């Protein structure tokens, strides 16, 4: 990070509707994070969105008066070359693929969700090879760059990169920062007076301590069975007796595991009502892009915050600032386990509090691992590791094993049938499974 | 084990239909295991069966001409006092309780099975306190005795004893010896030429190597998708593609996890046809006791082998012989983990190959742990540990957590409702959950 | 830490010459660490020094105009009662005992040093029981207090407290802060821009990274073979070839292990010249107390900084501030290992970078453990654990084992002879070894 | 191991004086270990000895009437090709190099011994590359062969092979079998009634249990302070108080660590008296070869048993028999740690009891690790790992680190000077340290 004239940042999937938030972050924090060049990259089918978002970004920068250059390009390698930070926010197969991820499992009576369960596995199979391709470019063209990965399933993607590339990578999710903000609002204290211990994996964590100005407020938070929620997961309340005896606050994604029956029912109803979550998001996105296209708009519109991914970009800018300045502050990140969760392999990705030093995040020891959670963490990580290796190798046997061992899949037979349908539906994005040598396996 | 006149053995639950097999074993192996006193103990409701079995035992011994004294008693302490070996084969609540264990979960769409799932948990809640009571007696009256535990769920009961008593205890199951015998028959070689590596827990193991005269026959065994079965688990065949990519032979109990939908269907059908497995066993037992009661019968009847528990007693006699003589041979036992499965706690019980030395079994390192299996092993062990602690403390919160985290239970809500019904149905045997302080919890 | 009127601090060994530095710290940082009561406690033989130091402290506070009350007392329990922080800086047996610790080993051709080797072990045997007595008082009278332990051997004392009491305790040494200050001066950057990774134990650490404004300066530091030194360890330079191939900067205390012959020679020469380090310190102390006694002195005198223990008090005040305010900054502390150094027991004390949260320090994962260092770390920790248990039990066999396994002791025979002489010389302070039951062991 | 006509065995260093014992073993156990071809290989300077020993072997076989072919050759590859077992018993640099290993350290006041300390390190530096060359041949020409390694330092050589080759290798030492035989004689029981638990490394073990017919006789063995000795280590008695408080029986090689001063004195005296151990062995060997050369000799001569290596060949034949037949008996072997000693790396070699199955040895869990021993085990293993890597790479810095961290070396300066002299003296056998690129390092 030596360029004296400022930093170069490449955003893969730059045409995303989240980009204005990121741009706002760069503008607000330019003093501590002197961005000079911001490269927004996208693929050809995304050209239109890239232009709309890119032009809004240019108007925002212009209004700010800061010396930030915005580059719009379809040439990923040009964008990556010499970058200080690369961030990814992409969707291989776009919202249509997401729609299928959400709907096919439901046919088999299985949760259909973007990151959790069979849907998440399909997303991983499509996405990991593309991310590893990007890593090859970074290894060659920007070997010192930090890769900030927002692309879901963020934990699995991060683990694949840790295992199969030499790129310095960190996975990011907006859930932890969301909890901090919720707690900050609830107690009326600054975020930096709150220490919440996150234990587990991306979209599969438990919070075991919430110190607010040094006092543990966990019990108070547990008493509120509707707290800690997000727009993209249905807002069922927790059973209070369960929550009390768990002694930990579960991620809202854990509702798919702890309330499987109710969540499934809700998804089926919602499907009948003519819309899975992918459809909803599609409509929201279209509305956003209409707004962005207004040449008078020179700021991030308020409506963006209603997307599920609120705070994503804030999390990204925070992390870049801390890495650039070596502020040694604490952030919740997806990094290699390295002994933190002692029963998981060293190279497994986990979601954990880290001190962000200039040479990277150092994870903090956990003080309380809920004994109830260890089995589920290990079961999901087992699936994740098998699925990652399936994504890299295109090995059908591994894919069967991954899906059959997912806690939400009821049997081997269902796993195999569902896999067959999902592989076929994603054929276009899964060349590794359809080359000659494996096609008839 | 110093008594020069021979060994004293106490069998708790001596009125069991299995006892004749045990007696046969003592007769056949008297040269290496000089049993002098065999004490069969039972509780009052079992007096009739005890007398029938006891008299058969006396006739068997008389026919053999060996100096073995058979004692029948309801006084457990007298039986245990000074014993060299204590074995347990009991059923707290008898077959009626088993019937409820098998039927109640089915109402909630959950597998109803004696040792696996909610049924197994209820059995553990009833049984563990009784076993720990027996341990208190052994600690006082026969501190050097070995306790051989056959009582199911054998893995959980063994772990409870390891954790909450000072008794030297080993858990035993007939499944491993069954596989060895099946393989021995298939290949026509002696059992001691076969080395099968068992990985996992009681009723939750995978076989990762089967060396027959030094050659690994695992692949051959995997090709036969119906091999390795038992009478007490429905004989569904494995999916061949799944088995090949698993690279390990799963226990037939794993069908409850890998074929949950089909097994559940079978149980529901079987229930409609008017009989759960408890009912079947009840009838078989009654027939056996009629046979036993025949004063002309002086041998173990052939029909006994058709019970699911074939080889149980052979396993027990083998183990006693090896402990008594220090033969250092290899047996598959349930013992403390002590680092063998590295992600489980040291005091967790596991099922593992051991060298049986005179001072006890020494577990053997595992050479291949299937990466697919680790999550499920950990998930089930997590449930087991919570359930054990619930059994000991009567803590309803722990019981909720145990059941809610069992991989076969679909949600927290189902767990709580089912638990409520099962606790109530077992009230008589669960004083720890119904004392004043916890009753209205 | 709830007293609204401010904090109560108890300093055991308050008559120490270091106290003025501590008082200065409380004055300088009163805004963030609102000390209301400072209790200086000492034992009767230390009364004179306590008065001198205490009066200086009162003059310093008076000059500052701050509302800090200074209490001088011989009543330890009164001082501890309700304290928020207790710090200890004491010397059981005073400088005379230290003199013996330094001189007896030399008779046997063994390093004679205050904290390292047989001398350190004797200090531990004398000190640990006294500290545990203090802990009993804290458990009773100030259960929420933090105990900041400066008393050497600080690592062993801290481990004894972690293992044998319920007091929240942290061990502190001035070496890490010293390195940071040295580096800060060398590169002209603020201390908070420096991240040095310390690996190992108290007085036995290696520095494996020194990031200065985000650049690793370790190689530069290694090139200067005289850097990282302190007044109380002779200033031999490191062999440059050794340092380069070690790839880590060793603590100056490691010279006793890596340059044993030269250090021994120096100690023997110094002894002949009529003075061990205890004698030197005695003279320095006397001069300091003369200064302190001057009623015109109202500030910490400059000369205090020439004592070996520079920055001790700064380290203490820093730590109290961070704990009180939950600043989450990084400090190098002696805490329970808890898996950080994976080959050491969880309850072993280690010296490690920690994030200081309001509920205590959270240790940071190590990024580079020098493979060369692991054996020596484990060897010294083995000695430490045996010596701690010897100190607590008075078991002569454990004391023999501890000393015989210390890397600086050449043989079992030397260990036993030296131990006999040292126990006898410290008889007065080692009642645990001289009660009737063990006296003639 | 499928050759129907019998086994092919290759002995590298076949001209060794130990060979007749091996041949005797093959003759005695031909029924269970049907050797058809025995290839004795040596290098050119050993041709005369090879012929003498080889001819004796032929006479021994002829007398036995068994169909064993003896082949004498200098062509290692021909000998290895298709072998079932390869055993090595060689001495790179022969007895002259051993003489230097023993005498150079003494100049620096350091123990001079064949396998322990600087002498052992030099032997490792000379030997490991040669063994790895042999492994390259085995990988190519006999990939299924077992390599039984007797070549000292056997632990380090075995670890090097485990780490840097794909050969299936087991390290062997005669010390464990020696203890069993001593105990067997003392108590008048068969060896298979004795179970001794060995904990540690080759030439650095502690015995923590000695069960004789099921009773632990450790305390009795500890009471005899002269027991467990061998001809090649001076027969000093242990300090009884030390032995009692250690609660374990140390290897006689541990005298170099626990009685360093006395052992050093003895070596210096012995040197003055005109003979190090290498000289003594040279004379014994010459006498043996004179005996072997007698054409009337057709049996292993009794005098061979007086060599330090008694039982070496018995150990080898035992191991081959067990591997060939899959007897699952217990032997003490040097194998990969794989978690047995939890603080050592998985690929470190340790000396441990194993069950010898047809597919290799499975190590047994340890039941008692003496807490006193862990530091020394780790310190020596640290040196070993650095020295192994130095042997493979020829990296002078690693060699310095290895020697400087050996517990018997008093300082870095001594380490560097001694290393310089020893490297120079062994120049002929250490090409890896004297290639151009490293010569002037």
Q: What is the pLDDT of residue A276?
A: 62
For the annotated catalytic residues of D, the residue numbers are 253
Q: Using an 8 Å CB-CB cutoff, list chain A residues near C330.
A: 328, 355
Band (C438; pLDDT cuts 50, 70, 90): very low
Minimum mean pLDDT among C53-62, D223-232, D414-423: which range? Answer: D223-232
Please indicate whether, in this complex, the C-beta atoms of C364 and A359 are within 8 angstroms of each other. no
Burial A251-285 (b: 16+ CB within 10 A, else e): bbbbbbbbbbebbbeebeebbeeeebbbbebbebe
- Residues belonging to the binding site of C are 98, 152, 173, 203
How near does any CA of chain A get to the CA of C44, in Å?
A: 39
* Element at C266 (helix H, strand E): helix C260-272
Judged on CB neighbours under 10 Å (0-12, 13-18, 19+), A65 is exposed
Q: What is the mean pLDDT of residues A130-156?
A: 96
Q: What is the rounded CA–CA span in Å between residue A341 and residue A348?
A: 9
Q: What is the pLDDT of residue D440?
A: 43
Q: Which two tokens stand for residue C409?
A: 């002791």
Taking only the tens place, the pLDDT of each residue in D163-211 is: 999 999 999 998 999 999 999 999 999 988 889 999 999 999 999 999 8
* Element at C247 (helix H, strand E): none
How near does any CA of chain A get to the CA of C246, in Å?
A: 22
Least CA distance to C390: which residue of chain D? D245
Domains in chain C (CATH in brackets) are 7-172 (3.40.50.720)
Q: What is the rounded CA–CA span in Å between residue A122 and residue A426?
A: 8
Q: Could you tell me the CA-to-CA distances from C63 to C52, C56, C68, C69, C296 in Å, in that order?
A: 17, 11, 11, 13, 11
Tell how far CA C268 is from the center of its chain. 25
Q: Which two tokens stand for residue A266?
A: 């809700």
Task: Compare CB distances from B359 to D214, D330, D358 and report the shortest one's residue.
Answer: D214
Q: What is the pLDDT of residue B440?
A: 42
Q: Bigger pLDDT: D417 or B235?
A: D417
- pLDDT above 50 (res A418): yes
Q: What is the dihedral of CA C335, C337, C338, C342, to 10 degrees?
A: 160
* Element at B249 (helix H, strand E): strand B249-250
Tell how far CA D69 is from the center of its chain. 27
Q: What is the pLDDT of residue C436?
A: 62
Q: What is the pLDDT of residue C435?
A: 81
Please indicate whether, in this complex, the C-beta atoms of D214 and B338 are within 8 angstroms of each other. no
Task: Compare CB distances from A357 to C195, C326, C358 and report the shortest one's residue.
Answer: C195
Q: What is the pLDDT of residue C303?
A: 77
Q: Using an 8 Å CB-CB cutoff, list chain B residues near A344.
A: 343
Q: What is the rounded CA–CA span in Å between residue C163 and residue D138?
A: 52
Q: What is the pLDDT of residue A281?
A: 79
Please indicate whether, in this complex, the C-beta atoms of B211 and D359 are within 8 angstroms of each other. yes
Tell how far CA C193 is from the center of its chain. 25
Band (B397; pLDDT cuts 50, 70, 90): very high
Q: What is the mean pLDDT of residues A53-69?
A: 96
Judged on CB neighbours under 10 Å (0-12, 13-18, 19+), B226 is exposed
Tell how far CA B222 is from the center of its chain. 25
Taking only the tens place, the pLDDT of each residue in C357-401 is: 888 999 998 989 999 999 999 999 999 999 999 999 999 999 999
Helix, strand, coil percentages in chain C from 3-state DSSP, rounded to 5: 50, 15, 35
* Terminal C-alpha separation, chain D: 47
Q: What is the rounded CA–CA span in Å between residue A310 and residue A316?
A: 12
Residues of chain B with pLDDT > 70: what percent? Answer: 96
Least CA distance to A339: which residue of chain B? B343
Please indicate whether, in this complex, the C-beta atoms of D242 and C412 are within 8 angstroms of each other. yes
Least CA distance to A345: which residue of chain B? B343
Q: What is the rounded CA–CA span in Å between residue C312 and residue A236?
A: 54
Least CA distance to B324: which residue of chain D? D214
Which position among C228, C253, C383, C429 bears the catalytic label?
Answer: C253
3-state secondary structure of A373: coil
Nearest C-alpha neighbor of A83 from the set A14, A157, A161: A14
- pLDDT above 80 (res A274): no
Q: What is the mean pLDDT of residues B235-262?
A: 94
Q: What average pLDDT does chain D have?
A: 92
- pLDDT above 50 (res B441): no
Q: What is the rounded CA–CA span in Å between residue A212 and residue D93?
A: 70
Q: What is the pLDDT of residue D436?
A: 62
Model-level pTM? 0.89
Beta-bridged to residue D364, according to DSSP, are: B364
The two beta strands, B349-357 and B360-363, are antiparallel
Query: In this complex, which chains have at least 3 CB pairs below 8 Å with chain A?
Result: B, C
Q: What is the mean pLDDT of residues D293-314?
A: 80
Q: Contact, D299 vs D24, CB < 8 A?
A: yes
Alpha-carbon Rg for chain C, nearest whole angstrom, is: 21
- pLDDT above 90 (res B267): yes
Taking only the tens place, the pLDDT of each residue in C248-306 is: 999 999 999 999 999 999 999 988 887 667 777 788 888 889 999 999 999 888 877 76
Question: Which of B340, B365, B369 best tests the D interface by mutation, with the highest count of D CBs <10 A?
Answer: B365
Q: What is the pLDDT of residue D226?
A: 77
Taking only the tens place, the pLDDT of each residue in C333-363 is: 999 999 899 999 999 999 999 999 888 999 9
Q: What is the pLDDT of residue A227?
A: 77
Q: Assess A358–C contact: CB distance below 8 Å, yes or no.
A: yes
Burial B234-243 (b: 16+ CB within 10 A, else e): bebebbeebb
Beta-bridged to residue D334, according to DSSP, are: D171, D351
Q: What is the rounded CA–CA span in Å between residue C22 and residue D252?
A: 54
Residue with tokens 């020891």: A365
Q: What is the pLDDT of residue B255?
A: 96
Judged on CB neighbours under 10 Å (0-12, 13-18, 19+), C147 is buried
How near does any CA of chain D get to the CA of C317, in Å?
A: 35
Give one DSSP letter per residue of B34-101, joined into a string.
Answer: -EEEEEEE--GGGHHHHHHHHHHHHHHHHHHT---EEEEES-HHHHHTT-SEEEE---TTHHHHHHHH
Q: What average pLDDT does chain A have?
A: 92
Q: What is the pLDDT of residue B260?
A: 96
Q: What is the pLDDT of residue D234?
A: 79
Residues of chain A with pLDDT > 90: what percent? Answer: 77
Q: Using an 8 Å CB-CB cutoff, list chain B residues near A410.
A: 260-261
- pLDDT above 50 (res D4): yes
- pLDDT above 50 (res B72): yes
Q: What is the mean pLDDT of residues A150-178?
A: 95
Question: Which of B213, B362, B368 best tests the D interface by mutation, with the highest count of D CBs <10 A?
Answer: B362
Q: What is the mean pLDDT of residues C8-30?
A: 94
Q: Assess A338–C contact: CB distance below 8 Å, yes or no.
A: yes
Q: What is the rounded CA–CA span in Å between residue D222 and residue D245?
A: 10
Least CA distance to D381: which residue of chain C? C375
* Alpha helix (H) residue ranges in D293-336: 312-325
Nearest C-alpha neighbor of C20 from the set C260, C289, C257, C234: C289
Q: Assess B423–A contact: CB distance below 8 Å, yes or no.
A: no
Q: Which two tokens stand for residue A110?
A: 């299985």
Q: Say if residue A98 carries a ligand binding annotation.
A: yes
Beta-bridged to residue B10, according to DSSP, are: B39, B86
Minimum mean pLDDT among A127-136, A185-194, B9-18, D274-283: which range? Answer: D274-283
Tell how far CA A432 is from the center of its chain. 23
Q: Using an 8 Å CB-CB cutoff, list chain B residues near D329.
A: 328
| Predicted complex: ipTM over 0.85 | yes
Taking only the tens place, the pLDDT of each residue in B114-129 is: 999 999 999 999 999 9
Please indicate whether, in this complex, the C-beta atoms of D328 and B364 are within 8 angstroms of each other. no
Q: What average pLDDT does chain B have?
A: 92
Please indicate whether, in this complex, the C-beta atoms of B372 and A401 are within 8 angstroms of each other. yes
Q: Assess B260–D contact: CB distance below 8 Å, yes or no.
A: no
Q: What is the rounded CA–CA span in Å between residue C183 and residue C196?
A: 9
Residues 6 or more apart whose Cβ sits within 8 Å of residue C68: C26, C27, C30, C35, C36, C37, C38, C61
Q: Assess A198–B contact: CB distance below 8 Å, yes or no.
A: no
Q: What is the pLDDT of residue B236?
A: 84
Q: Which two tokens stand for residue D270?
A: 């012995």
Q: Which two tokens stand for residue B441?
A: 């919890």
Q: Using an 8 Å CB-CB cutoff, list chain A residues near B407.
A: 375, 379, 407
Q: Contact, A389 vs C243, CB < 8 A?
A: no
Q: Using an 8 Å CB-CB cutoff, list chain C residues near D260.
A: 410-411
Question: Which of D411, D418, D438 best tests the C interface by mutation, with the highest count of C CBs <10 A?
Answer: D411
Taking only the tens place, the pLDDT of each residue in C179-227 is: 999 999 999 999 888 899 999 999 999 999 998 887 889 999 999 887 7
Q: What is the mean pLDDT of residues A131-158?
A: 96
Band (A309; pLDDT cuts 50, 70, 90): low
Q: Assess C362–A contact: CB distance below 8 Å, yes or no.
A: yes
Residues 6 or more apart whose Cβ sits within 8 Å of residue D175: D203, D205, D230, D251, D252, D253
Q: Contact, C97 vs C427, CB < 8 A?
A: no
Handedness of CA B123, B129, B134, B138 (dihedral sign): positive
Q: What is the rounded CA–CA span in Å between residue D151 and residue B224?
A: 46
Taking only the tens place, the pLDDT of each residue in B305-354 is: 766 566 878 899 999 999 998 877 899 999 999 989 999 999 999 999 99
Taking only the tens place, the pLDDT of each residue in C66-103 is: 999 999 999 999 999 999 999 998 889 888 899 999 99
Q: Using an 8 Å CB-CB cutoff, list chain B residues near D330.
A: 328, 355
A182: number of Cβ within 10 Å:
16
Band (A74; pLDDT cuts 50, 70, 90): very high
* Element at C436 (helix H, strand E): helix C436-439
Q: Assess A367–C contact: CB distance below 8 Å, yes or no.
A: yes
Q: Contact, B324 vs B83, CB < 8 A?
A: no
Which position among A108, A228, A252, A253 bears the catalytic label?
Answer: A253
Q: Using an 8 Å CB-CB cutoff, list chain A residues near B401.
A: 242, 245-246, 372
Q: What is the mean pLDDT of residues A400-427?
A: 97
- pLDDT above 80 (res D308): no
Task: Compare CB distances from C258 to D260, D386, D412 and report the shortest one's residue.
Answer: D412
Q: Using an 8 Å CB-CB cutoff, list chain A residues near B206.
A: none
Give one DSSP letter per residue of B135-181, joined into a string.
Answer: HHHHHHH-TTPEEEE--SSHHHHHHHHHHH---EEEE--SHHHHHHH
* Element at B336 (helix H, strand E): strand B330-336
Taking only the tens place, the pLDDT of each residue in D9-43 is: 999 999 998 899 999 999 999 999 999 999 999 99
Q: Assess A216–C contact: CB distance below 8 Å, yes or no.
A: yes
Please indicate whether, in this complex, the C-beta atoms of B414 and A242 are within 8 angstroms of each other. no
Nearest C-alpha neighbor of C169 from the set C432, C360, C419: C360
Q: Assess A411–B contact: CB distance below 8 Å, yes or no.
A: yes
Q: What is the pLDDT of residue A232?
A: 74
């Amino acid at each position: 990070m030596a360029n004296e004239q400022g930093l170069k940042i490449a955003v893969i999937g730059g045409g995303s509707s989240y980009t204005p938030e990121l741009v706002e972050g760069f503008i607000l924090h330019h003093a501590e994070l002197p961005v000079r060049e911001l490269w927004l990259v996208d693929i050809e089918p995304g050209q239109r969105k890239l232009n709309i978002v890119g032009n809004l970004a240019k108007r925002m920068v212009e209004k700010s008066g800061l010396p930030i250059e915005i580059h719009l390009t379809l040439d990923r390698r040009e964008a990556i070359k010499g970058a200080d930070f690369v961030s990814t926010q992409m969707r291989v197969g776009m919202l249509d693929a997401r729609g299928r991820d959400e709907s096919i499992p439901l046919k088999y009576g299985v949760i259909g969700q973007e990151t959790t369960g069979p849907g998440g596995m399909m997303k991983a199979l499509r996405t990991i090879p593309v991310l590893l391709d990007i890593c090859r470019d970074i290894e060659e063209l920007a070997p010192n760059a930090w890769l900030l990965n927002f692309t879901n399933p963020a934990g699995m993607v991060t683990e694949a990169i840790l295992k199969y590339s030499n790129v310095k990578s960190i996975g990011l999710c907006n859930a932890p920062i969301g909890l901090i903000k919720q707690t900050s609002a609830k107690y009326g204290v600054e975020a930096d007076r709150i220490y919440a211990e996150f234990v587990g994996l991306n979209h599969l964590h438990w919070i075991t301590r919430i110190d607010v100005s040094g006092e543990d407020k966990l019990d108070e938070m547990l008493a509120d069975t509707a707290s800690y929620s997000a727009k993209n997961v249905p807002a069922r309340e927790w059973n209070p007796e369960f929550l009390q005896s768990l002694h930990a606050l579960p991620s809202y994604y854990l509702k798919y595991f702890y309330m499987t029956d109710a969540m499934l029912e809700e998804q089926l109803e919602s499907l009948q009502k003519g819309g899975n979550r992918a459809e909803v998001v599609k409509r929201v996105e279209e509305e956003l892009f209409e707004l962005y296209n207004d040449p008078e708009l020179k700021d991030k519109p308020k409506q963006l915050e209603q997307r599920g991914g609120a705070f994503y970009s804030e999390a990204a800018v925070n992390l870049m600032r801390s890495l650039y300045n070596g502020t040694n502050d604490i952030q919740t990140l997806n990094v290699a386990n390295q002994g933190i969760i002692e029963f998981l392999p060293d190279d497994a990705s986990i979601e954990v509090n880290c001190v962000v030093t200039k040479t990277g995040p150092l994870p903090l020891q956990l003080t309380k691992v809920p004994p109830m959670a260890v089995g589920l963490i290990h079961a999901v990580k087992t699936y994740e590791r098998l699925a990652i290796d399936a994504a890299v190798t295109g090995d059908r046997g591994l894919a069967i094993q991954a899906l059959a061992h997912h806690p939400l899949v009821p049997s081997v037979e269902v796993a195999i049938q569902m896999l067959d349908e999902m592989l076929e539906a994603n054929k276009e994005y899964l060349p590794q499974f359809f080359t000659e040598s494996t096609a008839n396996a």
